[in-house]
Amino acid sequence: MSTPETSRFVRLRVELVLEVEDDDKVTQAALRRIAEDPELPGEERTRAETAVTEDTAEALAYLVDPFDLVSEVPGVELQQASWSSERISYDPDSPDWDLDEDDDDGDGYDGDDDGIG
């Protein structure tokens, strides 16, 4: 599959919906991660602590790291990542929550098990 016309770069899109059963546990885990980060400057540390304390979605965004998702995948190196989180209303039985709704965006994946468009 590696031809001169084929890019070596792949965009992997992942969407997760998580149910937070204990806001305090999530917040405390994020605060521990912040406290253990030796490269975080003092002023940025204070802002991060405030953000994760005020908003559980921010705490989750601090805890979920895209690098962790791919760091042990052989033959790949993460080039760029961005992610965000937000509180949402969620009804798994609603047709509005069809996770396949964005699949027809020309990305080459048609929903078949083989992943080939």
Higher pLDDT, 103 or 116: 103
State how far the Cα of 115 lies from the Cα of 108, in Å rounded to an integer. Answer: 8
> What type of residue is 65?
D
Cβ atoms of residues 71 and 38 within 8 Å: no
For 1-51, write each residue's pLDDT tens digit: 555 678 899 999 888 889 999 999 999 999 999 999 999 999 999 999 999
> What type of residue is 56?
T
For 71-84, write each residue's pLDDT tens digit: 999 999 999 998 88
Q: Is the pTM of this model over 0.75?
A: no
Query: What are the residue boundaries of the structural domains of the chain, listed by start?
Result: 20-74
